A and B are shown apart, each in its own frame.
Chain A
């Protein structure tokens, strides 16, 4: 019984009946004979609409998403970018803020380089086009990148960015969370270590409530430990 109380939403599996009212169907559901059923394994969120938040799955890019990508190939006029999705994304040379020659491409961003991109186009056959975010290409030359499931990204960010603000305030690190589940952390090595530890904990416990409180406690304890050792 106690376990039940700790869950803020119910776990559903594909085919579970969610509602008798077809107008309430939202993401992660489908309608059959006027009834709403779950399409994925996830948490059912029932308010005005019924939606299912997946617990796992692969990231599918949407226009406007800001992601962290890794260059996998540089061709004549495009950078091929791995964005932690089943599909490869492309950034065309003309998207670069200033006019450059093909030969300069690898110098600006070579194979293995990580950068922050914005998804500018996704067509029905999943051809994905990227551009630098806010007109300026940000290549990540320091810090570290960790990967979490994209389904946990909202929990890592927290309501109105609360979790990220918490991490930034307690640790002296810069954090950037990509929609595709890649998280860039930049700071002192021990702060980075702790940030990664905390993020992994958030990923594991993303489906539980009262998470922010537990993370606050964890951060306090860990910080304290670090200071005592010094």
Chain B
């Protein structure tokens, strides 16, 4: 498969260009915090409940809140119907996504409680874990959870020996490498880094730099979306 033509990718983007992204804060009425995101072909809803009482009780920690993160793909989110329920892949993604967000949350403010994060993938087109983390981070802020910063995430990879930002499904499936990265952009602290495929050391460093640029643009969009929630209401 040929991915690069005249310096442009299959969907006409430049190698360092993100797909169009749209955040909608507070999309769910009854969640404590929520965020709906459209990231290229991905459509994702994130909901946050809590801090609230922990069930089952034995999971509770006496000195801090616990964080639970559930990443779930809807059965209709991909071309071929997916069997509903957690599988090995989504259990792993739930775990790494939780670990990506966990370091910025001030858990000590809420002992003996839980903060539950639900990320539902309604439509998938590569980079769902990254887009899910972005939405979850905004939903946490919307819920009023104290955090040191927002976590932003995007994928980088390699197609036709070119390092590219924010892969689409074809690039992810048939490309040479895919590497999701999550970070707190202000401190530069990387909280998630996975890689599938092969990159040389030089390419890896180039990809990591590119992901920082991508995450920085996403961080701006997340911030802007949160501010707009209260600005927008002014007009009513």
Q: Do A and B come from one complex?
A: yes
A151 in the interface (beta carbon within 8 A): yes
Asked if B106 contacts A13 (CB within 8 A), the reply is: no
Against A, the Cβ 8 Å flags (1 = close, 0 = not) of B75-94 are 00000000000000000000
A6 in the interface (beta carbon within 8 A): yes
A15 in the interface (beta carbon within 8 A): yes
Asked if B233 contacts A204 (CB within 8 A), the reply is: yes
Which residues in B have their C-beta under 8 angstroms from that of A208? 233-234
Against B, the Cβ 8 Å flags (1 = close, 0 = not) of A51-87 are 0001111101000000000000000000000000011
Asked if A55 contacts B50 (CB within 8 A), the reply is: no
Q: How far is the CB of A194 from chain B (nearest CB, A)?
A: 20
Q: Which of A33-41, A105-113, A136-144, A183-191 contacts B (4 or more CB under 8 A)?
A: A33-41
A15-B184 contact, Cβ under 8 Å, with A39-B146, A86-B51, A125-B112? yes
Q: Which of B36-44, B125-133, B136-144, B165-173 contacts A (4 or more CB under 8 A)?
A: B136-144
B104 in the interface (beta carbon within 8 A): yes
A3-B53 contact, Cβ under 8 Å, with A55-B144, A57-B145, A125-B112? no
Asked if A56 contacts B63 (CB within 8 A), the reply is: no
Cα A60 to Cα B110 with chains together (Å) = 9
Asked if A126 contacts B104 (CB within 8 A), the reply is: no
Interface centre among B106, B222, B223 (most CB of A within 10 A): B223
Which residues in B have their C-beta under 8 angstroms from that of A14? 104, 141, 146-150
The interface size of chain B toward A, counting residues with CB under 8 Å, comes to 36
B55 in the interface (beta carbon within 8 A): no
Residue in chain B with minimal CB distance to A207: B230
Q: How far is the CB of B81 from chain A (nearest CB, A)?
A: 37
Asked if A124 contacts B111 (CB within 8 A), the reply is: yes
Which residues in A have their C-beta under 8 angstroms from that of B143? 56-57
Against B, the Cβ 8 Å flags (1 = close, 0 = not) of A4-15 are 001100010111
Cα A6 to Cα B109 with chains together (Å) = 33
Cα A14 to Cα B147 with chains together (Å) = 6
The interface size of chain A toward B, counting residues with CB under 8 Å, comes to 33
Asked if B144 contacts A13 (CB within 8 A), the reply is: no
Cα A205 to Cα B112 with chains together (Å) = 33
B10 in the interface (beta carbon within 8 A): no
Cα A207 to Cα B113 with chains together (Å) = 28
The residues in B between 210 and 232 inclusive whose CB is less than 8 angstroms from any CB of A are 222-223, 226-227, 230-231
Asked if B144 contacts A41 (CB within 8 A), the reply is: yes
The residues in B between 55 and 106 inclusive whose CB is less than 8 angstroms from any CB of A are 62-63, 104, 106
Which residues in A have their C-beta under 8 angstroms from that of B106? 30, 39
Which residues in A have their C-beta under 8 angstroms from that of B62? 125
Cα A40 to Cα B144 with chains together (Å) = 6
A95 in the interface (beta carbon within 8 A): no
Asked if B148 contacts A57 (CB within 8 A), the reply is: no
Cα A113 to Cα B183 with chains together (Å) = 48
13 cross-chain CB contacts under 8 A: A15-B149, A37-B148, A37-B149, A37-B186, A39-B148, A54-B144, A56-B143, A56-B144, A57-B144, A58-B52, A86-B110, A87-B53, A125-B112
Residues on A lying within 8 angstroms of B by beta carbon are 3, 6-7, 11, 13-16, 28, 30, 32, 37, 39-42, 54-58, 60, 86-88, 124-126, 151, 204-205, 207-208
20 new A-B pairs (CB below 8 Å) besides A28-B146, A54-B144, A56-B33?
A7-B234, A11-B226, A13-B227, A14-B141, A14-B149, A15-B184, A16-B223, A30-B106, A55-B230, A56-B32, A57-B143, A60-B109, A87-B53, A87-B113, A124-B111, A126-B110, A204-B233, A207-B230, A207-B233, A208-B234
